[in-house]
Amino acid sequence: MELEGRGAGGVAGGPAAGPGRSPGESALLDGWLQRGVGRGAGGGEAGACRPPVRQDPDSGPDYEALPAGATVTTYMVAGAVAGILEHCVMYPIDCVKTRMQSLQPDPAARYRNVLEALWRIIRTEGLWRPMRGLNVTATGAGPAHALYFACYEKLKKTLSDVIHPGGNSHIANGAAGCVATLLHDAAMNPAEVVKQRMQMYNSPYHRVTDCVRAVWQNEGAGAFYRSYTTQLTMNVPFQAIHFMTYEFLQEHFNPQRRYNPSSHVLSGACAGAVAAAATTPLDVCKTLLNTQESLALNSNITGHITGMASAFRTVYQVGGVTAYFRGVQARVIYQIPSTAIAWSVYEFFKYLITKRQEEWRAGK
């Protein structure tokens, strides 16, 4: 891995301070060269020591080459910002996806495509209707994504060192994504329940507190985790496919693992699209468990849909095989920019925070 110096036209060379380089930057470079720190292809923390290689003076800063790597706090802050921005920007499309996954929608809520649905919702229900429930989603997305990215980064490094020392293991990437999903969904599932009930057509809830109170009083605390096992059944394969595809594409588009916004956007978008299309049937079942759609409940003997098997059975009874792919267009359209935003924002903040930490350490 190549090391890079920074300065007014300076080149990463020997330990001595060169023209255009401040004493602080020279001290930082000295420390890097003495430790010979590099990063493995897997994008983890500090890897095996390697001799420094002279850099092209025009090349930009490389956060992957920073000696101490990113800290857990860095992963959590970058992940929280990425998660909140991802959900806020894409929330109107998420509202459309929820409605299009309805098994027996009201005639006024039957849409041909995503744009037509969004236009009709705004025209008939008001400009801000597609944003209802955004506040609870943003509140849940911060801690959920902080845990998600921190767990993924640390576990990916640990497993890669065991499976493929010094390199990138797709098995490690997939396994780390699966474990990270357990923490993410545990934090996010209650927010998902409230959000999707507020997104449904003719939802009786206008405020988050009204929805939370009604669910708690009428269905109990367990209702907030009724879809948790289905959420995991959907998200574990989703995240395994997502992370493995992302890391695979990074190997091709960004083999040196520098901070490269275009590669992060492209890899994230492709990874999200593939994973979203493959797991749509599970997402339909999750939506049914979260919303307990009243018309679908009429075909259910128990009165409540309480598990994945029951949800699968109900979806088939109401709409047949094609019902498992309701909203697939909206889901893929949502996921492409969603994962592109998440990865690009996450990688940017990880780079920025780590860079500032190293500059601060060098100045002490």
- 42-84 tens-digit pLDDT: 444 433 444 444 444 444 444 444 334 578 999 999 999 999 9
pLDDT digits (tens, 9 = 90+) for 217-243: 998 999 999 888 878 888 888 888 898
* Cα–Cα distance, 143 to 236 (Å, whole number): 19
Residues of the chain with pLDDT > 90, as a percent, come to 42
Helix 170-199 / helix 72-100 crossing angle, nearest 10 deg: 50
Cβ atoms of 208 and 194 closer than 8 Å: yes
**């083999």: which residue's tokens?**
255
Helix 114-125 / helix 72-100 crossing angle, nearest 10 deg: 80
Instruction: Give the residue among 78, 94, 101 at the shortest CA–CA distance from 149.
Output: 78
252 CB-contact burial (10 Å; exposed 0-12 / middle 13-18 / buried 19+): exposed
pLDDT computed for residue 296 by the predictor = 59
DSSP state of 107: G
pTM across the whole model? 0.70
pLDDT computed for residue 294 by the predictor = 63
- Classified as helix, coil or strand, 39 is strand
* Cα–Cα distance, 73 to 319 (Å, whole number): 46
pLDDT digits (tens, 9 = 90+) for 84-114: 999 999 999 999 999 998 877 888 888 988 8
pLDDT score of 263 more than 60: yes
Please provide the DSSP assignment of 288-331 as one string: HHHH--HHHHTT-TTSS--SHHHHHHHHHHHH-GGGGGTTHHHH
* Cα–Cα distance, 94 to 85 (Å, whole number): 14
The more confident residue out of 215 and 66 is 215
pLDDT digits (tens, 9 = 90+) for 11-30: 334 444 444 444 544 554 45
